[in-house]
Amino acid sequence: MAAGGGIDPIHQFEIHPIVALRPFGLNLSFTNASLLMVLVVAVISIIMIYGSSQRSVVPGRLQSLAEMIYEFVASTVTGVMGKQGMVFFPLVFSLFMFVLAGNMLGMIPGSFTVTSHIIVTAAFAFLVIGTVLVYGIVKHGSHFFGLFVPSGVPGWLLPFMVLIEAVSFVSRPISLSLRLFGNMLAGHIALKVFGGFVVALLAAGGAATIIAPLPLLLAVALTALEFLVAFLQAYVFAILTCVYLNDALHPGH
């Protein structure tokens, strides 16, 4: 990824069209980001649909994986929201798998990380909060807004508490989207920077060549950490989604 002789850690986040599509003046080109999104769906579908196509009582390897993921997400959903939470199971499952597969495919060198773009993570966050709002209001009506009125608070404190709760609610999609975006972006930049150090040190020659393995070791360690982060952030995203959706199910404090 050398650009103009240097190592550009930002290059990996660039989006370039593969098939240009510009209907009605909108830029809807099929880009490398779109390609990765399609690949994400393809990978998940292979595991979940092809893997379960045998429907065997004694599962094969791929079916075991599909069942393991299903039970993992299902236990997360029921753990946070209880049995009723299973209405949101497909949503949480799709979000978790999309984010996880996006993060993991982004770890392939030369690939593109879908979740390193804030518009993608923000879209997910607003999808979650939108679901909370729509479901909460449809299901509970005005009672849903009891979410902002904590019980057992003295009257004079109530306006402040409502304000704080409202700010907390509004900050949720922001923190949800920025957390995932920031983690993926920072991790990939750090990896690229340390990788760049290796190349730069080798290119410098002389004594610099001798210490070139040091950033390489760091890059290796960082790669392992990034795999952990890739899973962890997907899990955190799923857990927080469950916590927020739980408010739509049980708005009373």
Task: Tell me if 106 sits within 8 A of 112, measured CB to CB.
Answer: yes
Structure tokens at 24: 């009605």
Site for another protein in 189-208 (CB under 8 A): 189
Within 54-83, which residues bind another protein (CB under 8 A)?
A: 55-57, 59, 63, 66-67, 70-71
Q: 81 to 110, contacts with another protein by CB under 8 A?
A: 89-91, 93-94, 97-98
Per DSSP, helices labelled H in the chain are 32-45, 61-81, 89-106, 118-140, 158-204, 207-210, 213-249
- By CB under 8 A, tell whether 250 contacts another protein: no
Q: Does position 18 bind another protein by CB under 8 A?
A: no
Give, in order, the Cα–Cα distances in Å from 180 to each of 47, 64, 114, 144, 219. 24, 28, 11, 28, 21
Closer to another protein by Cβ: residue 167 or 202: 167
**Rounded CA separation 235/93 (Å):** 10
Query: Nearest approach, Cβ of 192 to another protein (angstroms)?
Result: 11
CB of 104 to another protein, least distance (A): 15
- Minimum CB–partner distance for residue 226 and another protein (Å): 14
Rounded Cα–Cα distance for residues 228 and 226 (Å):
5
Burial class of residue 162 (count of CB atoms within 10 Å of its CB; 0-12, 13-18, 19+): middle
- Which is nearer to another protein, 16 or 210 (by Cβ)? 16
Interface with another protein, residue 3, by CB under 8 A: yes
Per CB under 8 A, does 181 bind another protein?
yes
Selected from 61, 109, 141, 151, the binder of another protein by CB under 8 A is 151
